[in-house]
Amino acid sequence: MVILKGIPSILTPELLYVLAQMGHGDELGVGIPELLKAILKLFPLDTYDDSAAVMDLVQSDKLKGLKVPVWDQYSDLLKQAGSDGNFKFVERFAFYERAKKAFAVVATGETALYGNLIIKKGVIPPDEQC
């Protein structure tokens, strides 16, 4: 793999190509905090719509009071990227359908329960462009 200055090595050339092809409003499914952190260094989040979505707990997990610690990590990373850190909770089957329509899905091997995440690309404000 070719390593470039300023580009996290976790971002493969293929993934960088996909990120560059994406337009405003396109969605990307990701699932691991380290990769999310790297992507958010390059990826402007949508500020006009929900910039991130996770699969909501199914009813039986809600009744059990299941906690999803990885969501706190996602929220912190989204805040660091300039978002409010909130994400939309999407019903399980609606999440699957939304993921099918995403511009790209990144298979990460994430094992956290409810660890799937969809992020929506925004635009880079003129004052932040090079």
Q: Write down the catalytic residue from 24, 49, 72, 76.
A: 24
Contacts of 22 (CB under 8 A, 6+ apart): 28, 103, 104, 121
At residue 3, what is the residue type?
Answer: I
Q: Write down the catalytic residue from 17, 72, 76, 96.
A: 96
Bridge pairing between strands 104-105 and 88-90? unpaired
- Is 96 tagged catalytic? yes
- Is 24 tagged catalytic? yes
Alpha-carbon Rg for the chain, nearest whole angstrom, is: 15
CA angle 100, 58, 115 (to 5 degrees): 55
- Residues labelled as active-site residues: 24, 46, 96
